[in-house]
Structure 1
């Protein structure tokens, strides 16, 4: 835990940019180990995106079938989030992270080994289990172990997410141009690198991701903890908001590559497009989101980003036949999502008086429910109607998220007042 005074608030850190930059760099070795592993883990997510059209083409799969690669992944992640606290509070930070990495490596390798779309969909579900263990633990680990407070720790985590997502599609595009199996094997290889790096750089920890009690002994999280956490209206509001906006997020992630693939954009092209998306996501999550938070507050800034993202998806729905419009919208969406991700993640960490790992698990459970339904819904809407409809429906769900936050802002306005060392 931080040795700095607990009274140091997120706002006071953001008011002094030089201090923020310094605190971001001065982290314990364990934080940098998790940071590196997070980059590699999120490279795995982006690696697969450019090959969606190639999978559909080579395995003779429909858009809705290919979209199930995201649905099975997110559905298992949502459910698994409920047990991440139970596992991490017993195994500890390091062993939970390593277990997640091993599971990702195994199922990503098996996903590339088989040629049946339904078997690969199943392998993606196993991949989601590993990712749930890693993601929930990595976020709470960085926040807990960081010496710079919650806000800066979340920025660091989102920086790792952005770097991984931005580099992943480029590598995935190059590997996918060789074979659609390449990115699957690429993820498995990267997980081996992450495993070695985390094993060497991160010291063995006896403490769990759950904060220690007054006695200094780590508490063991119960399986009911995430459900009890959702009794706090602030956490429930943020979780449902993320559920709604993830309909838009994963419509873009799962369906936009299929639309661009039909326009003749190859794996290299998709890699570069989502590289631009990821770069803007990384830049805004680290440098722009703190400024927005300082000037306008978390809730107002988050609502504005979601509204603009809704307009972005609407533009994709109106001008679906324009390659330029789709590409521009995808890249611009990266900036909006980068801001929103940092803002809402920081808000979750300060939303309720529960352990960070529990808050993360409860929030992620709701968030990935949206992420599980959206890809399959987009594929079905595209097949049964036309390619415009998925983006318009995604836009409507993001707009619902904005309205939901507005109607419940009195439940979440306190997140800007919470101490960064919460």
Structure 2
């Protein structure tokens, strides 16, 4: 990567870091805040799902918009709107308004990820693109590590303080995005995107459908894992909050190492499609090992294997999406992220219900879906790896 590529990538790294930190910063205080405003467990569930539901519907919209009007304005809308919604969180004292603002936050934040990835697709090629996608994934992982920690610390002073802090951090990156993120989509490219993919029945004819399904299954399995793992670990090896915090910190570290440091070298050597396949296999087998783990060490090792597989699959599948089409990357990535949101919406509900039937059922289900998908789709993945469209990177 040259210097002109590095500066936008660094800014986009911090954009996604702050977005995910803002998502995670509310996790430690949310149950207490909802209870303080007269809510219950149902209210908490609605609050959490509102964010992902809005991302599901609006990520494709923002992706299409970035193909039409450019990456830069959509990114600026997403960053500024996301920051402002956190200030609204800090001043609202009614539960229904809190849920409404949470939905608005999901709406505007969905402008950042597909557009950031489309921006990276505009300025990078080959292994550099996969590496940059990995850095964005690492940024999101770091945000989910630091967000809950910062929220728990600031929430000790007041429920409003974490929201004001998150809003200030999001708006702090806005001047850097304004001055140092030039537009990457030229007018001729925007005019050429006549057939922009949309979320409709036509999506079943989309040549990228297999990659969309991969993203759904990976995020669905991850959501089931995140929802039920604390209960499973407590039942198997007696984990409490302290042990869970340490475990998820370890997972975050491994995720950052793979996505932030190793993915570019691995793609240069093996290619994106083989790594998607390998990562999916690792995730599927890891879920089986989690069920079979007899003690704390093997349980943590199995969860690390799951995180490594997930970290391999995320950036490489995103990169493959951008490498199959010469135009409308924003729209395609918007649909790609919409499938991820659908997985995050359905995963907690179905995972919780399956766990109620049998403790290992969410993990068995996830393993069957992952391993079955990668076996059925092997030829399609091979075809994706052979049909990469080469476009000269911008300097």
Q: TM-score, normalised by structure 2?
A: 0.80
Q: Distance in 2 between matches of 1:235 and 1:67?
A: 32
Q: Distance in 2 between matches of 1:368 and 1:409?
A: 24
Matched with 2:241 is 265
Change (3 A) 1:78 1:419: same
- Tell me if the contact between 1:235 and 1:352 (Cα under 8 Å) persists in the aligned partners: no
- With 27-36 and 125-134 compared, the bigger mean Cα shift is at 27-36
Change (3 A) 1:298 1:200: closer
Give the CA deviation at 1:248: 1.6
Change (3 A) 1:291 1:153: closer
Question: Counterpart of 2:147 in 1: which secondary structure?
Answer: helix
Q: Say which of 342, 348, 373 aligns to 1:375.
A: 348
Matched with 1:189 is 168
Q: TM-score, normalised by structure 1?
A: 0.75
CA deviations over 1:315-371 (Å, ceiling 9, x no partner): 556779x88777665555433322221221122222345421122012122222111
CA deviations over 1:357-410 (Å, ceiling 9, x no partner): 12201212222211112223344556xx27x64x63255135313312321222
Q: Say which of 370, 380, 385 aligns to 1:411.
A: 380
Q: Distance in 2 between matches of 1:355 and 1:169?
A: 35
Change (3 A) 1:394 1:287: same
Q: Distance in 1 between matches of 2:273 and 2:39?
A: 41
Q: Say which of 199, 202, 206 aligns to 2:178.
A: 199
Q: Say which of 75, 91, 109 aligns to 2:53.
A: 75
Q: Distance in 2 between matches of 1:328 and 1:398?
A: 17
Matches for 1:381-420 after TM superposition, within 5 Å: 385=356, 389=359, 392-393=361-362, 395-417=364-386, 418-419=388-389
Matched with 1:99 is 77
Matched with 1:129 is 107
Question: Counterpart of 1:226 in 2: which secondary structure?
Answer: coil
Indicate yes or no: 2:259 matched with 1:285: yes
Q: Distance in 2 between matches of 1:333 and 1:276?
A: 12
Q: Distance in 1 between matches of 2:385 and 2:116?
A: 23
Q: Distance in 1 between matches of 2:46 and 2:266?
A: 36
- With 71-80 and 256-265 compared, the bigger mean Cα shift is at 256-265
Change (3 A) 1:286 1:230: farther
Question: Counterpart of 2:241 in 1: which secondary structure?
Answer: coil
Could you tell me which runs of 5 or more consecutive residues in structure 1 were left unpaired when the two chains were aligned. Answer: 1-22
Question: Counterpart of 1:133 in 2: which secondary structure?
Answer: coil
Indicate yes or no: 2:15 matched with 1:37: yes
Question: Counterpart of 1:78 in 2: which secondary structure?
Answer: helix
Question: Counterpart of 2:190 in 1: which secondary structure?
Answer: coil
Question: Counterpart of 2:58 in 1: which secondary structure?
Answer: helix
- Tell me if the contact between 1:109 and 1:185 (Cα under 8 Å) persists in the aligned partners: yes
Q: Distance in 1 between matches of 2:267 and 2:259?
A: 11
Give the CA deviation at 1:270: 6.0
Change (3 A) 1:271 1:30: same
Q: How many residues align?
A: 386
Q: Distance in 1 between matches of 2:140 and 2:123?
A: 18
Give the CA deviation at 1:284: 0.5
Give the CA deviation at 1:314: 4.7
Change (3 A) 1:365 1:256: same
- Tell me if the contact between 1:108 and 1:184 (Cα under 8 Å) persists in the aligned partners: yes
- Tell me if the contact between 1:52 and 1:258 (Cα under 8 Å) persists in the aligned partners: no
Matched with 1:167 is 146
- Tell me if the contact between 2:210 and 2:377 (Cα under 8 Å) persists in the aligned partners: yes
- Tell me if the contact between 1:38 and 1:161 (Cα under 8 Å) persists in the aligned partners: yes
Q: Alpha carbon RMSD of aligned pairs, Å?
A: 3.8
